[in-house]
């Protein structure tokens, strides 16, 4: 029995791809769909978390050091702040990646920039989470003293 | 890679390139799409500012006082207002794209939606900072 080729793109060509691969939409790049979805999932998370953090930022302004430490170190601020940092960093990494892929065509420069982009996002995340942790511990020390 | 080398060996006439942005009359949907990318890049600087402030607080009293003074200065305020606008523009643009991603608002309303990003981001920035200044004065 001869199987008819899958014609999802309407051209009748599916190259070396199997029918299953064509159906899954995974072309030669083998990725892309999850990039699109992650970008949007983090966008929704960012939107909600940033609305919360705007209120936090306004409440924080003008606070003395002990008050600021106690405020940012409290679970109601520290947890949404940490979540926002993680979500924003993933969103930023994905967004900048697209910009690099759109405008940088020299292979080595592109590779280095993509690598730097991934490292930068992770570094921002790590520094932020460390700082939030340190503020929480500082809040405990000041609170008990 | 420059346009001249893409056509083949050096010295040969460059191959024609497809028309790019400069041939199009700017329309609001296109400008807002470009602004979405620009504000996205600007928000990186804003994130660094936010993380810088958190880290200053984590480092201790002196760095917190220094960061508060810098962010509270006139120049600091101008940068923060710009970041507020950039963030709101990108957020409103994101909502517009979400509406389009769900398959809605492809009619003429798409122009109004795009204008809403431009006008809304500026208006909300002004409202937010008026609230902040009023709260500080009280």
pLDDT surpassing 80 at residue B20: no
Please give the pLDDT value at position A14. 58
Residues of chain B positioned with their CB less than 8 A from the CB of A105:
1
Mean pLDDT of chain A: 88
The secondary structure of residue B16, as a DSSP letter, is P
Mean pLDDT (whole number) for A21-43:
78
- Determine, yes or no, domain membership for B17: no
Short-list B43, B34, B46, B32, CA closest to B120 = B32
Residue numbers of the domain that contains A4: 1-30
Chosen from A135, A137, A141 to mutate, greatest number of chain B CBs within 10 A = A135
- Determine, yes or no, domain membership for B15: no
Q: What is the largest CA-CA distance in chain B?
A: 71
**Which stretches within A61-106 are classed as H helix?**
65-73, 75-103
Mind telling me how many Å the CA of B108 is from chain A's nearest CA?
A: 25
Residues A13 and A35 in one domain: no
Please give the pLDDT value at position B22. 76
Residue numbers of the domain that contains B131: 26-137
Mean pLDDT of chain B: 90
Q: Which of residues 17-36 of B touch A (CB under 8 A)?
A: none
Task: Select from B55, B128, B131 the Cβ nearest to the Cβ of A127.
Answer: B55
Q: Which CATH number does the domain housing residue B30 bear? A: 1.20.1300.10
Please give the pLDDT value at position A143. 82
What is the domain count for chain A? Answer: 2
- Determine, yes or no, domain membership for B113: yes
Mean pLDDT (whole number) for B51-66:
97
**Interchain CB contact of A26 with B (< 8 Å):** no
Q: Which residues lie closer than 8 Å to B52 by C-beta, 6 or more apart?
A: B67
Q: Which CATH number does the domain housing residue A134 bear? A: 1.20.1300.10
Which pLDDT tens digit goes with each residue over B28-51? Answer: 999 999 999 999 999 999 999 999
Short-list B87, B43, B136, B28, CA closest to A121 = B43
CB contact under 8 A, B64 and A54: no
């Amino acid at each position: 029995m001869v199987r008819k080729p899958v014609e999802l793109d309407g051209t009748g060509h599916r190259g070396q791809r199997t029918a299953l691969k064509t159906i899954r939409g995974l072309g030669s790049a083998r990725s892309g769909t999850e990039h699109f979805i992650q970008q949007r999932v983090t966008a929704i998370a960012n939107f909600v978390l940033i609305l919360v953090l705007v209120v936090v930022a306004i409440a924080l302004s003008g606070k003395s050091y002990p008050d600021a430490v106690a405020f940012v170190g409290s679970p109601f601020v520290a947890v949404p702040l940490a979540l926002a940092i993680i979500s924003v960093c993933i969103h930023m990494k994905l967004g900048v990646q697209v910009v690099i892929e759109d405008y940088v065509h020299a292979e080595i420069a592109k590779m280095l920039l993509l690598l730097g982009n991934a490292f930068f996002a992770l570094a921002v995340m790590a520094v932020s989470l460390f700082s939030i942790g340190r503020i929480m511990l500082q809040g405990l020390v000041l609170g008990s003293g | 890679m420059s346009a001249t080398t893409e056509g083949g060996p050096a010295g040969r006439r460059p191959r024609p390139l497809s028309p790019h942005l400069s041939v199009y009359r700017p329309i609001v949907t296109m400008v807002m799409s470009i602004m979405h990318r620009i504000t996205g890049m600007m928000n990186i600087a804003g994130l660094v500012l936010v993380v810088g402030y958190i880290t200053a607080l984590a480092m201790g009293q002196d760095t917190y006082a220094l960061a508060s003074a810098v962010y509270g200065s006139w120049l600091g305020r101008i940068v923060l207002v710009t970041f507020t606008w950039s963030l709101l523009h990108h957020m409103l643009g994101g909502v517009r794209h979400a509406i389009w991603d769900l398959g809605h608002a492809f009619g003429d309303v798409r122009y109004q939606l795009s204008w809403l990003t431009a006008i809304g981001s500026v208006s909300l920035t002004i409202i937010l900072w008026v609230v902040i200044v009023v709260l500080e004065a009280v």
